[in-house]
């Protein structure tokens, strides 16, 4: 019985120790986009030559859509504690529902994301339609 209690206490100490270490290292935080400048910097880093001229952030800060001068659109979304980006080739997988725009790239690992874009959702849905369909 005593051995089990000691084992339980040792396990609890180890769990709390790992939790403390993870917090100290900044692991597992709730990563959000702070502003458009951060989204633009991430987009530039993700794709050489992509220079955003228009940006819209999801209200929760978990994703953004960015457009460059040539009309290319990049989807930037939270993926774990980092952000991942994809250049969208078509409007396939995009669905507008009032202020929400859901975009699926077709990649299982990237998944779908629903952006709360407020009044700009329709504007960006139109921009996605300009990309055309799957070729």
Question: In this structure, are residues 70 and 97 in contact, taking their beta carbons and an 8 Å threshold?
Answer: no
- 64 & 119 share domain: yes
Residue 121 lies in domain: 36-129
pTM: 0.77
Question: Pick from 20, 22, 21: which is nearest to 81 by CA?
Answer: 22
Per-residue pLDDT tens digits of the chain, which is 135 residues long? 898 988 999 999 999 999 888 888 877 677 899 999 999 999 999 998 999 999 999 999 999 999 999 999 999 999 888 899 999 988 888 999 999 999 998 888 888 999 999 999 999 999 999 987 654
- 98 & 73 share domain: yes
- 44 & 90 share domain: yes
Q: Is residue 135 situated within a structural domain?
A: no
Q: How many domains does the chain have?
A: 2
- 70 & 121 share domain: yes
Question: In this structure, are residues 99 and 116 in contact, taking their beta carbons and an 8 Å threshold?
Answer: yes
């Amino acid at each position: 019985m005593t051995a089990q209690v000691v084992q339980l206490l040792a396990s609890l100490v180890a769990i709390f120790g790992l939790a403390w270490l993870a917090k100290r290292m900044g692991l597992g935080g709730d990563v959000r986009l702070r502003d458009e400048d951060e989204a633009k910097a991430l987009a530039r880093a993700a794709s050489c030559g992509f220079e955003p001229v228009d940006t819209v952030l999801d209200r929760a800060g978990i994703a953004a859509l960015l457009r460059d001068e040539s009309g290319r659109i990049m989807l930037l979304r939270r993926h774990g504690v980092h952000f991942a980006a994809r250049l969208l080739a078509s409007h396939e997988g995009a669905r507008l529902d009032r202020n929400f725009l859901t975009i699926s790239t077709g990649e299982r690992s990237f998944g779908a994301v629903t952006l709360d874009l407020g009044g700009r959702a329709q504007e960006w849905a139109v921009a996605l339609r300009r990309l055309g369909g799957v070729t």
